[in-house]
Amino acid sequence: MSNPTLLAIDQGTTSSRAILFSQIGEVIDVRQKELQLYFPHKGWVEQRPEDIWSDTRNCCTQILNNMEQKPVAVGITNQRETTIVWDRKTGEPVYNAIVWQDRRTAEQCNTLKKQGHEQTIANKTGLLLDPYFSATKIAWILDNVPNARARADAGELAFGTVDCYLLWKLTNGEVHATDTTNASRTMLYNIVEQRWDEALLALFNIPYSLLPEVKDNIASFGVTDKHILGAEIPIGGMAGDQQAALIGQGCFKPGMVKSTYGTGCFALMNIGPVFKPSQHRLLTTVAYRVDGQITYAVEGSIFTAGAAIQWLRDGLGFFDDARESEALATSVSDSNEVYFVPAFTGLGAPYWCPDAKAMIMGLSRESTQAHIVRAALEAQAYQTLDLMGAMQADGGHIPDIIRADGGLVANKFMCQFLADMLGISIEVPKVTETTAWGAAALAGVQVGVFSGLEDIAKSWEADKCYKPQMKASKRDRLYAGWKKAVGMLTKEERGQ
Ligand code: ADP
């Protein structure tokens, strides 16, 4: 076929999108719908699965209806860990989607930690005991939705992360499957033995019957139902958003790092085929599995990155558009010792304080909106530096280059400050839609548009490169201020 196209579904925390790519990664068409988040109680974050599905479907059909020659394959990428439980017969969700940021199960996680389960869990899943992952969210639904546990025990319910729910819907209930990267974020999947772990299922009190089949990232996931999307297109690739970005950034060699700055910030380093749990509170996770061959990544997950900018926009009304943050930040020469620790949904790696709250420190009568905005952008670099420190302490070598992406990299000030603080070059790729491209490219391999991962790597090209310019002494002084601010939060949480 001449000029085959690939369709990516990119279901993120803040929006659902469909993106049509050419075989060299050019965006031909894109449709997007913002997704509503609900905060029914303090620390709770939910979405309506019906919105996730109908928005995704509409985005896809808007693209497909305009096309004569349909895409040759569909790839799916998604916000990870977000948990949906639905009825196998009707497809009706039994509860809202519990979003990855939700902290309602923090107490249960603390209890399990006190009982000494954390190390076993880390050894099997690479994860830490935190409400972030799906396991305690699933248990919460089963224990709190009337009749849900009985229905689950009777085999009537299905669990899935968003990828799995969308696949079910796209195939009209034919396929209940996920991929290894999404499975690796549930805290129920043993990433060493690559299977659902019965001891963990027992620990979290979750019946096996809820779980989907786990496939490679490049696989035959099914075919879109023609009554659903108006065409039968093979679904050939799937990966959680951060792993899809790693793939879209072509980080296939051990030691290569990508860092994505969207709602949260996620830095992943490819560590090759050998599982190694972190000793410094990072996560070990599946990077990808192709032809049954697994590659692991070490991951630093920061819960709040762009969400802090959103809060300045929506919560404080500092500006109408996130893009205005750059002009405000550069209207002052520094943050005037203002530090913004954006722990709105707790602190993730490497601190893992689920109950920490956000803090702005160092305000004086001279402080202005500009200083606070600048501090929010600078926080992205400090948080990344915290992660790099933990990666180094784990014995990982520090890369010379980080490949960065996500909505925030449009902010040149943020990128330059990042390069300055890390002392590492920051490369931003030409294909800025790396997450969606990763999913599309995986599907492309499945249908033969690409011959394999190396072929995907060849499609990567740098657009901008930010080189470090700041003096080490200044960097150290700024970072010491951050450490002091973040230290206050972690100490408070420990009750010191
Ligand atoms: P996600 O995939 O997690 O939904 P995106 O990668 O689309 O997120 O990034 C969106 C985030 O980036 C939002 O939180 C927004 O506030 C932030 N953002 C987008 N553009 C800019 C900008 N120019 N400067 C600062 N923040 C930005």
| CA nearest ligand 1 atom 26, residue | 408
Of all atoms in ligand 1, which is nearest to the CA of residue 261?
6
Q: What pLDDT is stored for residue 495 in this prediction?
A: 55
pLDDT the model gives residue 275: 95
User: Which pLDDT score, from 0 to 100, does residue 263 have?
Assistant: 86
Region of 35 please: left (phi>0), alpha (psi -120 to 50) or beta.
Answer: beta
Single out the residue of 370, 292, 293, 388 nearest to residue 328, CA to CA: 370
* Predicted local confidence at residue 459, as pLDDT: 86
Summarize pLDDT for 462-486 with one digit per residue, the tens. Answer: 999 999 999 999 999 999 999 999 9
Ligand 1 atom closest to 10 (CA):
2
Residue to substitute in 14, 408, 415 for testing ligand 1 pocket (most ligand atoms within 8 angstroms of CB): 408
Does 280 score more than 90 pLDDT? Answer: no
Structural domain includes residue 462:
no
In a domain, 9, yes or no: yes
User: Residue 417's pLDDT is what?
Assistant: 98
Q: Give the mean pLDDT of 12-34.
A: 94
Whose structure tokens read 């930690």?
113
Residues 333-357 have a mean pLDDT of: 90
Instruction: Give the atom of ligand 1 at the shortest distance from the alpha carbon of 326.
Output: 24
The answer to whether residue 45 is domain-embedded is: yes
Q: How far is the CA of 314 from the centre of ligand 1 (A)?
A: 13
Q: Does 495 fall in a domain? A: no
Quick check: 10 pLDDT over 80? yes
pLDDT of residue 353: 86
Q: Give the whole-angstrom CA distance, residue 139 versus residue 267.
A: 28
pTM: 0.90
- Residue 2: per-residue pLDDT: 72
CA-to-CA distance for 275 and 123, rounded, in angstroms?
9
- Per-residue confidence (pLDDT) for residue 494, from 0 to 100: 56
Q: Which atom of ligand 1 lies nearest, measured to the CA of 377?
A: 25
- 302 Cα: distance to centroid of ligand 1 (angstroms): 14
The whole-angstrom separation of Cα 401 and Cα 387 is 15
Atom of ligand 1 nearest to the CA of 264: 3
Give the model's pLDDT for residue 105.
95
> Which pLDDT value is given to residue 492?
61
Averaged pLDDT, 220-247: 96
In the predicted model, what is the mean pLDDT of the chain?
94
Neighbours of 198 (CB within 10 A): 11
Question: Is residue 493's pLDDT more than 70?
Answer: no
User: How many domains, in total, are found in the chain?
Assistant: 1
Closest ligand 1 atom number to CA of residue 15: 4
Q: Whose CA is nearest to atom 19 of ligand 1?
A: 407
Question: In this structure, is residue 102 part of a structural domain?
Answer: yes
Does the pLDDT at position 431 exceed 60? yes
- Residue 364: inside a domain, yes or no? no
Mean pLDDT, residues 436-454 taken together = 96
Which of ligand 1's atoms lies nearest the C-alpha of 310? 16
Ligand 1: which atom is nearest the Cα of residue 435? 2
The preferred substitution site among 17, 34, 35, 309 for testing ligand 1, maximizing ligand atoms within 8 Å of CB, is 309
- Which CATH number belongs to the domain containing residue 106 in this structure? 3.30.420.40
pLDDT at residue 343, as a whole number: 94
pLDDT band, very low/low/confident/very high, at 248 (cuts 50, 70, 90): very high
pLDDT at 398: 82
> Does some domain include residue 450?
no
Pocket-testing residue among 9, 10, 11, 14, ligand 1, by greatest number of atoms within 8 A of Cβ:
14
State in Å: Cα 207 to ligand 1 middle. Answer: 37
Residue 370 lies in a domain: no
CA of 188 to the centre of ligand 1 (A): 31
Phi, psi of 249 (to 5 degrees): -90, 0
* Banded pLDDT at 496 (limits 50, 70, 90): very low
**Nearest ligand 1 atom, CA 14:** 4
Q: Looking at ligand 1, which residue's alpha carbon is closest to its atom 15?
A: 306
Residue list, ligand 1 pocket, CB within 6 Å: 12-15, 262-263, 306-307, 309-310, 322-323, 325-326, 406-408, 410-411
Q: Residue 220 is part of which domain span?
A: 5-241
391-423: pLDDT as tens digits: 888 877 788 899 999 999 999 999 999 999 999
Q: Do 489 and 359 form a contact (C-beta atoms < 8 A)?
A: yes
> Which residue has its alpha carbon closest to ligand 1 atom 7?
407
Assign 1 a pLDDT band (cuts: 50, 70, 90).
Answer: low
Give pLDDT tens digits for 311-332. Answer: 999 999 999 999 999 999 999 9
Q: Which of 259, 263, 266 to mutate to test the pocket of ligand 1 (most atoms within 8 A of CB)?
A: 263
The answer, yes or no, to whether residue 301 has pLDDT greater than 90, is no
What's the CA gap between 405 and 384, in Å, rounded?
Answer: 13
Q: What does the pLDDT average to over 339-365?
A: 91
Q: What is the 262 CA–ligand 1 centroid distance (Å)?
A: 5
Mean pLDDT of the 430-436 span: 90
Residue closest by Cα to atom 27 of ligand 1: 408
